Amino acid sequence: MASKLGIVVPCYNEQEVLRETIKQLTAIIEKMVAKGMISSDSKMFYIDDGSKDKTWNIIDECSKSNKYVCGVKLAHNSGHQNALIAGLSVGVDYCDALISIDADLQDDIDVIEEMVDKFNHGIEIVYGVRDSRTTDTFFKKTTALTFYKLMNSLGAKTVYNHADYRLMSKRAVKHLLEFNERNLFIRGIVPLIGYETGTVYYARKARMAGESKYPLRKMLSFAIDGITSFSIRPIRLIYVVGIIMLITTLAVALYVLISHFCGQTVQGWTSLMLSLWFIGSLILISLGVIGEYIGKIYIEVKNRPRFIIEKSIIDNNEKDYQ
Ligand code: UDP
Ligand code: MG
C-alpha cells in the first residue's frame, strides 16, 4: 500500500504567498498520487504561527475546498522551530512520512518526488541540500558558512547547506519529538537520531513574495541558540584561559621579581602585580570548575534520549523498533 505523506508548512504572516504555495504543493501531491507513489490520504499541514494578517483565514478557506489542506493555529507567535515541531507532532499521527518546508517555497518543491522515492526505498531521513546559493547575498553566504564551521568545530554535527527542508519517516519524527529541549535547533538534533539518511540537491530560489521573517537580529539569536544548545565547549574555554593565565603568572612573577631586585620599581608595585595575576587566574579556574558542573546540569536537564534502537535480533527473529 502506498504510504501517507504529510507536508508541514510553518506560516507566519504569509498571506501574500500562501494561496500560491497551497496550489503548487497540491499539484505535486496530486501528481505523486496519480503515479501511485503516495496514498490519496496524504495531507498538508499549514501551521499558523500566530500571524497577524489573513494567513489563518486563507488556511481555513482552503481546507474547505481542498481535501489535502489541514490547518493548525498556534495561539501566539512561537517561532519557526516551535511551529515546525507543532506541525510534526500533529502530522505524525496521520502520516508515514513527513516533509517540512517553508511557506515561501524558496526550496525547490520539484525534489519532493525524489525525497519520497528515497523514502519508498527505505531511507528514513532525506536532507534537502542547496547545491548553490546564487540567490543569497554575499553577507548571507559568508555568515552561513562561518556559522556552519563554528558549529562543527564546537561539536554539533550539522549538514552543510541544509536548513529545515527534509523528509523524515514516522518513527524518526517520533524520536525527534523525544528531544524535549526548549532551545530548539532542529537541524542539529536530526543527525543525532541516526537511521539511514539520504540527500537530494536543489538550487534555492528567491522568496516568491512577502519579506523574510528572519531579520539579522533573529538570525543571530538563532545562531547563538544553535551553539549554546549543543556545546559546553565555551564553558571549558574559561578553564583553558585560566590555566594559560596561571602559566603566564609564572613568567610575570619572574619579570616582576627581577625588576624588584634590580631596584627599578616603585614601592608596592611588585606585590600588586603578583597578586593581580595570581588572583585573576585563580578566579578564572574556579569559574571553570563551576562551569563544568553547570555544563553537567545543562546536559541532564535536556533529558535527551540516551539511545534509539533501530532493530534487534532475538532468538533468530528480527524486530524493527518504532
Ligand atoms: N516562520 C514562522 N514563525 C516565525 C518566523 C518565520 O513560522 O516566527 C516561518 C515563515 O512563515 C516561513 C519560514 O518560517 O515559512 C521561514 O521564514 P523565512 O522564509 O522568512 O526565513 P528565510 O528564508 O528568510 O531565512
Ligand atoms: Mg524563506
pLDDT reported for residue 133? 67
Cβ–ligand 1 contact at 135 (below 6 Å): no
Q: What is the pLDDT of residues 239-274, one digit of tens each?
A: 899 999 999 999 999 999 999 999 878 888 899 999
Within 10 Å of residue 304's Cβ, how many Cβ atoms? 13
- Please tell me the predicted confidence (pLDDT) of residue 313: 85
Ligand 1 contact via 213 beta carbon (within 6 Å):
yes
Alpha-carbon gap, residue 29 to 287, rounded angstroms: 55
Sequential DSSP letters for 187-237:
HHHHHHH-S-EEEEEEE----SSS--S--HHHHHHHHHHHHHHH--HHHHH
Predicted TM-score (pTM) of this structure = 0.85
Pairing of strands 43-48, 5-11: parallel
Which protein residue has the closest C-alpha to ligand 1 atom 8?
79
**Residue at 212: amino acid letter:** S
173: buried, middle or exposed (CB in 10 Å: 19+, 13-18, 0-12)? Answer: buried
Ligand 1 neighbourhood includes 83 CB (under 6 angstroms) = yes
In short, whether 204's Cβ falls inside 6 Å of ligand 1 is: no
Cα dihedral 10→13→17→23 (10° resolution): 50
Residue 291's pLDDT is 92
Backbone φ and ψ for 2, nearest 5 degrees, come out as: -65, 145
Q: Whose CA is nearest to atom 14 of ligand 1?
A: 80
* Ligand 1 geometric centre to CA of 78 (Å): 11
Q: Which residue has the cell 597578586?
A: 275
How far is ligand 2, taken at its centre, from the CA of residue 106, in Å?
6
Q: Which ligand neighbours the alpha carbon of 101 most closely?
A: 1
Q: Is 78 in the pocket of ligand 1 (CB under 6 A)?
A: no
CA of 202 to the centre of ligand 2 (A): 15
Among the listed residues 238, 99, 223, the one whose alpha carbon sits nearest the alpha carbon of residue 165: 99
Per-residue model confidence (pLDDT) at position 309 = 86
- Given a cut of 50, the residues of the chain with pLDDT beneath it are none
Please report, in angstroms and rounded to a whole number, the separation of the first and last CA atoms in the chain.
Answer: 19
Torsion, Cα 273 274 276 277, to 10 degrees, reads 110
How close is the Cα of 49 to the center of ligand 1, in Å? 10
pLDDT at 59: 95
Distance between CA atoms of 242 and 146, rounded to whole angstroms?
A: 27
3-state class of 259 per DSSP?
helix
Q: Relative to the CA of 14, which ligand 1 atom is closest?
A: 11
Q: What is the pLDDT of residue 45?
A: 96
**Ligand 1 pocket, 106 CB below 6 A?**
yes
The CB of 100 under 6 Å from ligand 1? The reply is: no
With a 6 A CB cut-off, is 11 part of the ligand 1 pocket?
yes
Whole-angstrom distance, CA of residue 193 vs CA of residue 305: 9
Let me know the angle formed at the C-alpha of 163 by 176 and 116, rounded to the nearest 5 degrees: 70
Cell of 101: 518546508
Atom of ligand 1 nearest to the CA of 213: 20
Q: Which grid cell sits at 57? A: 483565514
110 close to 17: Cβ distance less than 8 angstroms: no
Please, what is the Cα angle at 176 between 175 and 179, to 5 degrees? 95
Under a CB-based contact definition with an 8 Å cutoff, are residues 225 and 79 in contact?
Answer: no
Instruction: Give me the sheet containing 5-11, strands edge to edge.
Output: 69-73, 43-48, 5-11, 97-100, 162-169, 125-132, 197-203
Which residues share a beta bridge with 127? Answer: 166, 199
* Residue 160 CB less than 6 A away from ligand 1: no
Q: Is 256 in the pocket of ligand 1 (CB under 6 A)?
A: no
Residues in the chain: 322
